[in-house]
Amino acid sequence: MGIRQYCISAWSFIDPLYVQFTRLQHIKKTCGNQTMMRVRLTKYKGRNIVLADGTAINKNDVLVKIHLHNVKLLRHIQGYDSEVRKALMIYKGVQDSLPSIAHYIYKHRYANDIKGLIGISMLYKGCKKLGFEPHSITNRYYKYFKQLAFFPIYFLSTKNTFKKEIPTPMYLFMSKESLFQQYGIK
């Protein structure tokens, strides 16, 4: 077993504690299987942003913060050497999760207060096809903190990590209306 497998095993042990402390909820598909995403409600603290559909995201607006289930993801892509294949698997996993997230928001007791989704990721190249809008993180300290926090995931998921430039994390937004329209709740 290599260093990556040891790290993923250790992370698997720590992950349930992380979920509990961060109040993340697993999102399940209608068939009962868990998706690749976990979520929690959050109040937005960044700069005001207007999305392409006209939705204004302002300070203290309620958003659903999305988190990739990184251990599950890393185990899923572990056997693949192709970066393109890994990216396609992640894309498909997120795409398959979004209808369940739409259903989660639609049924949520605070559904009327929720304005949309927010995530922070270094994986944003295909995000527009999924309906997300990338926006840069303007606070440089927060951006560097997130880049440092994402480094273990980046290290465990790519080959030749130190030969590549580490991507800059970005905010990913999607309005509730866009989510509903694109993923099944009209």
The pLDDT value recorded for residue 67 is: 86
Percent of the chain with pLDDT over 90: 39
Output the average pLDDT for the chain: 83
Percent of the chain with pLDDT over 70: 81
The span from the CA of 28 to the CA of 30, in Å, is: 7
The mean per-residue pLDDT over the stretch 54-80 comes to 83
| Nearest residue to 126 (alpha-carbon basis) of 159, 80, 95 | 95
The pLDDT value recorded for residue 166 is: 74
Task: Assign 126 a pLDDT band (cuts: 50, 70, 90).
Answer: confident
Domain boundaries, the chain: 3-182
pLDDT at 1 over 60: no
pTM for the full predicted model = 0.84
Structural contact between residues 65 and 115, judged by C-beta atoms closer than 8 angstroms? no
**For the residues of 80-139, what is the DSSP string, one character each?**
---HHHHHHHHHHHHHHHHHHHHHHHHHSTTTTTEEEEEEEES--TTHHHHT-EEEE---
The span from the CA of 106 to the CA of 129, in Å, is: 22
The span from the CA of 108 to the CA of 139, in Å, is: 31
Count of residues making up the chain:
186
The mean per-residue pLDDT over the stretch 68-89 comes to 72
| Sequence letter at residue 146 | K
The pLDDT value recorded for residue 157 is: 67
The mean per-residue pLDDT over the stretch 92-106 comes to 91
- Residue 181, Cβ neighbours under 10 Å: how many? 14
